[in-house]
Amino acid sequence: MFEKLFKWFEARVETYPNEMPKTPKSGLIPFIYDATKGMRFYILLLTVLVAAVGIIEAVLFRFMGDLVDWVNKYSPTELWAEKGWTIIGMFFIALLAVVFVYLASSIRFQSLQGVFPMRLRWNFHRLMLGQSLGFYQDEFAGRVSAK
């Protein structure tokens, strides 16, 4: 079961795209924007999921404080009668946290962490293959003369 899920997440991003990459623009932000082409949706989705997990974890600490207060205030039967639906809501929010953590981890480790570096290498390699022979002669001549 998990193997199918892992393969599904791994197949979301193509490691070796057929499209020829363009030369990245100069400057840090434009370079990052060009380099993340095809990955931006998953990076944004990961960012949203991680933020949601952080918010839910903060809310869980609030829930723990509320539960401790309620246990001191109510007897077990009164607690369930007074706060039963609230406790059920807390339970479902905790389950939602598990789902968000799973999705964020799967996107990070299966879709991005393995594929993203290989995709960058592939695109940069293809850019280097497109250079002229003069580019390499000038590049290596400059390095030798600098030493």
pTM: 0.79
**Mean pLDDT value across residues 128-136:** 81
**Arithmetic mean of pLDDT, 112-141:** 85
Question: How would DSSP label each residue in 21-81?
Answer: PPPPPSSHHHHHHHHTTTTHHHHHHHHHHHHHHHHHHHHHHHHHHHHHHHHHHS-HHHHHH
Question: Tens of pLDDT along 79-105?
Answer: 999 999 999 999 999 999 999 999 999
